[in-house]
Amino acid sequence: MNLIDIAALHDIPREGARVVRTAQGCVAIFRTATDQVFALDDRCPHKGGPLSEGIVHGTSVTCPLHNWVFDMATGEAQGADEGRVATYAVQVKNGRILLDAAFLSRRAA
């Protein structure tokens, strides 16, 4: 696995996010209240809202535009909403957030 060092874990506030800009689009890196880290496309499939600006609660994020809720582990919309966002392999090692570069290179533009 080819890992890219994104940031220190403490660079992302608990229940917050940061955006990684790539040639293929933006990826939102989320940190939960319990220091779990998730990586998702930063674009809601409903109306294109920036998920990185959404509300993180547990292991879910709510889109700031129309309140669609996504499970950050699977990318699946929850409740009555139907849709999905891509998820990417991410891990924390020695306090650093590492993102799998192979997933980014295979993304559709």
Give the CATH number of the domain where residue 9 resides. 2.102.10.10
pLDDT at 23 over 80: no
DSSP state of 46: T
Letter for the amino acid at 27?
Answer: V
Tally of structural domains, the chain: 1
Full DSSP string of 56-80: EETTEEE-TTT--EEETTT-BB-TT
Summary count for the chain: helices (H), strands (E)? 1, 10
**What number of CA atoms fall less than 13 Å from residue 38's CA on the CB side?**
27
Note down the domain range covering 64: 3-105
pLDDT, tens digit (0-9, with 9 covering 90-100), for 67-98: 999 999 999 999 877 899 999 999 999 999 99
pLDDT tier for residue 36 given thresholds of 50, 70 and 90: very high
Q: Taking the model in full, what pTM does it have?
A: 0.90
Distance, in Å, from the CA atom of 42 to the CA atom of 51, rounded to the nearest integer, reads 5
